[in-house]
């Protein structure tokens, strides 16, 4: 779909925005974590394959379409790579620095801290505005934001990696079809707003590892702050990183619930949590060794 539209716009075709109140067609969408992950991994693979090919919008589009169209196609083509790299960075780098008492952001009392605050708040308000103005609710925005974080470190990462390895001749490109069979049990969980975590460990382990690392960094920071009685303004120096870890944990409470609270068939298996715990310890040790 992306490449077809890109080719047509390069040939001079014009598009109009059509969003009628009455749906023009009906289809089946994914209702569980496994199918959603596979679907977005396939999309990420397709977009990345265009981004690093001779049809890359950065070199194939500027002279054949408007500047706005060129920017849109470029952003979409590189979206999987940009999202997975940035989200992996935000999920680990500030937390490893927090775990080792290394401040990354300005102090709360510093005027430059307002720059980070404005960027963070404006990003959230922008996405909320887009959802609400298109008929969605705050709950829809919350789920979209949470799913975006999850698929950025799983589907986008694996989809981009699949293409990169294929280009290097290390792996053949794969195509995984999305399951369209309706499962009554999965649909029931979906309608209740409960995550169905019955999927491959390769999708679950990164999520659980991120959660455990953030918990470790946040809890250690709280303990240090209490034990040292905010010595040398620890709270003020580390507030940005502590808030980021707290925000990640709150946004992904569904993962924590699947790890600790739930015990149904659609929860996160204990073996995955234990494996992710091993990964987390390894990451914290390696991070501490590098940062020290």
Q: What is the pLDDT of residues 167-218, one digit of tens each?
A: 887 766 555 555 555 666 666 777 777 788 888 899 999 999 999 999 999 9
Q: What's the number of CA atoms in the CB half-sphere (13 Å) around residue 28? A: 10
Residue carrying structure tokens 């870890």 = 245
Q: Which domain range does residue 142 map to? A: 1-9+29-291
In-domain check, residue 68: yes
Question: Residue 203 in contact with residue 210, Cβ under 8 Å?
Answer: no
In-domain check, residue 117: yes
Query: What's the domain count of the chain?
Result: 1
> What was the pLDDT predicted at 235?
86
In-domain check, residue 159: yes
- Angstrom distance (rounded) from CA 117 to CA 269: 37
> What was the pLDDT predicted at 176?
55
Using left for φ > 0, alpha for ψ between -120 and 50, and beta otherwise, residue 291 falls in alpha
- Angstrom distance (rounded) from CA 70 to CA 291: 40
> What average pLDDT does the chain have?
87
Reading the block at residue 38, the tokens are 């596979």
Q: What is the pLDDT of residues 26-62, one digit of tens each?
A: 777 777 788 888 889 999 999 999 999 888 888 886 7
Q: Which residues contact 160 (CB under 8 A, 6 or more apart)?
A: 44, 45, 48, 80, 81, 84
Reading the block at residue 117, the tokens are 């605050």
- Kindly state the greatest CA–CA separation across the chain: 66
- Angstrom distance (rounded) from CA 73 to CA 54: 14
> What was the pLDDT predicted at 286?
95
Q: What is the pLDDT of residues 263-285, one digit of tens each?
A: 888 889 999 999 999 999 999 99
Q: Which residues contact 55 (CB under 8 A, 6 or more apart)?
A: 3, 6
In-domain check, residue 63: yes
Q: What is the pLDDT of residues 112-156, one digit of tens each?
A: 999 999 999 999 999 999 999 888 888 888 888 889 999 999 999
Kindly report the length of the chain: 292
Exposed e or buried b per residue across 103-120, where buried means at least 16 C-beta atoms within 10 angstroms of its C-beta: bebbbbeeeebeeeeeee
In-domain check, residue 17: no
Closest of 176, 179, 183 to residue 202, by C-alpha: 176
In-domain check, residue 16: no
In-domain check, residue 19: no
In-domain check, residue 22: no
Using left for φ > 0, alpha for ψ between -120 and 50, and beta otherwise, residue 230 falls in left
Instruction: Give how far the C-alpha of residue 132 lies from the chain's centroid of Cα atoms, to the nearest Å.
Output: 21
């Amino acid at each position: 779909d992306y490449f077809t539209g890109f080719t047509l716009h390069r040939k001079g075709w014009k598009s109009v925005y059509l969003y009628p109140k009455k749906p023009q067609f009906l289809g089946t969408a994914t209702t569980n974590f496994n199918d959603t992950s596979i679907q977005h991994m396939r999309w990420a693979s397709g977009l990345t394959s265009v981004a690093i090919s001779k049809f890359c919008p950065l070199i194939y589009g500027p002279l054949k379409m408007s500047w706005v169209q060129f920017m849109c196609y470029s952003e979409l083509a590189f979206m999987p790579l940009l999202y997975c790299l940035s989200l992996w960075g935000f999920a680990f780098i500030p937390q490893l620095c927090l775990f080792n008492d290394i401040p990354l952001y300005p102090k709360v009392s510093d005027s430059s801290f307002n720059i980070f605050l404005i960027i963070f708040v404006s990003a959230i308000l922008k996405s909320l505005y887009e959802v609400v103005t298109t008929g969605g609710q705050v709950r829809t925005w919350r789920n979209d934001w949470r799913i975006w974080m999850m698929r950025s470190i799983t589907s986008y990462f694996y989809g981009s990696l699949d293409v990169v390895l294929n280009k290097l001749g290390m792996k053949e490109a794969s195509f995984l079809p999305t399951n369209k069979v309706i499962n009554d049990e999965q649909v029931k969980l979906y309608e209740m707003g409960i995550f169905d975590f019955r999927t491959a460990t390769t999708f679950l382990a990164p999520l659980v590892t991120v959660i455990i690392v953030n918990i470790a960094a946040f809890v250690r920071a709280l303990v240090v702050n209490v034990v040292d009685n905010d010595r040398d303004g620890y709270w003020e120096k580390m507030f940005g990183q502590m808030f980021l870890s707290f925000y990640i944990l709150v946004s992904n409470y569904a993962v924590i619930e699947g790890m600790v609270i739930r015990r149904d068939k659609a929860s996160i298996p204990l073996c995955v949590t234990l494996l992710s715990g091993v990964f987390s310890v390894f990451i914290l040790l390696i991070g501490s060794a590098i940062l020290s």
